[in-house]
Amino acid sequence: MNQHELIEKANQEVERNREMVESDPYRLRFHLMPPVGLLNDPNGFIQFKGVYHLFYQWNPFETAHGAKFWGHYTSKDFINWEHQPIALAPSEWYEKNGCYSGSAIENDGKMVLFYTGNVKDENGDRETYQCMAVSQDGITFEKKGPVIYLPEGYTAHFRDPKVWKKEDTWYMVLGAQDEDKQGKVVLYSSTDLMNWNLLGPLTGSAMNQLGPFGYMWECPDLFELDGKDVLLVSPQGLEPEGDVYHNLFQAGYFVGELDYQKASYQHGSFTELDRGFDFYAPQTTVDEKGRRLLFAWMGITDDNEKYQPTIEKGWIHAMTLPRVLTRKGEKIVQQPVEELQLLRKNEVSYNEVQIITSNVTLEGIKGEALELLFDEIIYEGDSFEINFRGGARFEYSSKLGKMRLQRKNFKDGSIESRHCKIDAVKKLHVFIDTSSIEIFVNDGEEVFTARYYPDVADQTITFSALGRVQFDLKKWDLG
């Protein structure tokens, strides 16, 4: 099918399923979702002529992975989003099995996309092409075809171009697997966006003192944050280790220095960006206010994906809230963008609430789409727990110096947990949507992100303490 026919077919799929999808009580109120089918990575995140554009990996025809399109949302304020016409459909020989992930830049007043053309033959053998598409208006794109072919030394797991400009040169990082099946991040440069020079691998498994560190690295993003070069990347193949790496795939960062001349990147250790269950393939951009903004896929590819209950209503997955990144030493801190405050309604406020028993509820603190801000948290005791709508529990044990988020496993309903060490929980900023939760701890020092599926009718938030806990609390309904 040609691009026009594919887009027609996808639009029909949206229309045909609209009523069913929108009838889902788990449809989110203030997160971006696919209109039908499956959404995964954020792509092409950019502020272009004042407007934020967020593209996304999209399979409109199934709630499973497949030949991806680039869906497209725009917004001026991160509150009101418009769904735009499909930006890319997998119509050409070099992308016939998917217009895979990539990024956007502005050049000479035009928006330029770089993405991976994914091709699989009858035997399942893969080919990969790094492609370019150009737009005058940021809405309709003209494909220019491949600009980078697979170099020697790498397998066809070579994808997800992220492009930026430094002085007069364009740079691109790609996620890769080398011939020894080690995950790598590879750097290219260009002066005209058409001709690209391979500068070499920057870091990866079995490089830079990392030891074995995964068989494939996806979705790299490299940028300067407050004088340091930060690499975000999603490695595949790390084994669980104590509190970390319990999701099937990870998403995290390195802080270091990139030497553009030598194409070498010296960095510290890898840290997970999020401590919850659903956070993958984050992508950033810098906006006109100079903020380093991030969206991530609030989901992950694993064996339990297919048991998410929204599938029976024809859709699956969503984006995280937009977040601002800052750096505190070697640590990357995430905060929800301040624009989200415009969603606030019906404030309820408490000072010095004391919790000394189990299952306490507070008048006015309930709902299915709300924001909770806990401040001045003080403990005299061992632990503090918040139960969200009977579907997720957040617990802080001062005795263990650990936090924990629990939810029901999508497949068998058993309780599963993610943990993280913390010195003291002083502040919690929680965003609860109909089927998601994002918990920013101590002004974004740590974040837990997860989908969860509570009983639709259950809107209760309950508090429990072993010992005594005190806090100030504000609540707003959102949306």
Residues involved in catalysis: 41
* Per-residue mark of binding to ligand FRU, 402-441 (x: CB under 6 A): ----------------------------------------
Region of 289 please: left (phi>0), alpha (psi -120 to 50) or beta. alpha
Specify the residue, 148 or 422, whose C-beta has the smaller distance to ligand FRU: 148
Specify the residue, 196 or 249, whose C-beta has the smaller distance to ligand FRU: 249
Specify the residue, 317 or 475, whose C-beta has the smaller distance to ligand FRU: 317
Close Cβ partners of 335 (under 8 Å, ≥ 6 residues apart): 323, 324, 326, 440, 443, 444
- The verdict on 229 binding ligand FRU (CB under 6 A) reads no
Give the sign of the dihedral formed by CA 90, CA 93, CA 96, CA 100: negative
Amino acid found at 356: I
- The verdict on 127 binding ligand FRU (CB under 6 A) reads no
Q: Given candidates 24, 127, 218, 445, which one binds ligand FRU under the rule CB under 6 A?
A: 218
Exposed e or buried b for every residue in 403-426, given b needs 16+ CB within 10 A?
A: bbbbbbebeeeeebebbbebeebb
Specify the residue, 128 or 397, whose C-beta has the smaller distance to ligand FRU: 128
Rg of the chain on CA atoms, in Å: 22
- The verdict on 31 binding ligand FRU (CB under 6 A) reads no
The SS3 assignment for 94 reads: helix
Specify the residue, 92 or 477, whose C-beta has the smaller distance to ligand FRU: 92
Instruction: Count the site residues for ligand FRU by CB under 6 A.
Output: 13
- The verdict on 57 binding ligand FRU (CB under 6 A) reads yes
Specify the residue, 159 or 313, whose C-beta has the smaller distance to ligand FRU: 159
Separation CA 257–CA 20 (nearest Å): 50
Burial degree of 123 (CB within 10 A; 0-12, 13-18, 19+): exposed
Q: Given candidates 67, 281, 437, 473, which one binds ligand FRU under the rule CB under 6 A?
A: 281
Least distance (Å) between residue 15 CB and ligand FRU: 24
* 460 DSSP assignment: B
- The verdict on 116 binding ligand FRU (CB under 6 A) reads yes
Q: Given candidates 160, 221, 385, 438, which one binds ligand FRU under the rule CB under 6 A?
A: 160
Q: Given candidates 47, 63, 91, 101, which one binds ligand FRU under the rule CB under 6 A?
A: 101
- The verdict on 320 binding ligand FRU (CB under 6 A) reads no
Separation CA 368–CA 177 (nearest Å): 42
- The verdict on 247 binding ligand FRU (CB under 6 A) reads no
Separation CA 61–CA 59 (nearest Å): 6
Q: Given candidates 31, 53, 68, 72, which one binds ligand FRU under the rule CB under 6 A?
A: 68
Nearest to residue 410, comparing CAs of 435, 374, 441? 435
Q: Which residues bind ligand FRU (CB under 6 A)?
A: 40-41, 57, 68, 100-101, 116, 159-160, 218-219, 280-281
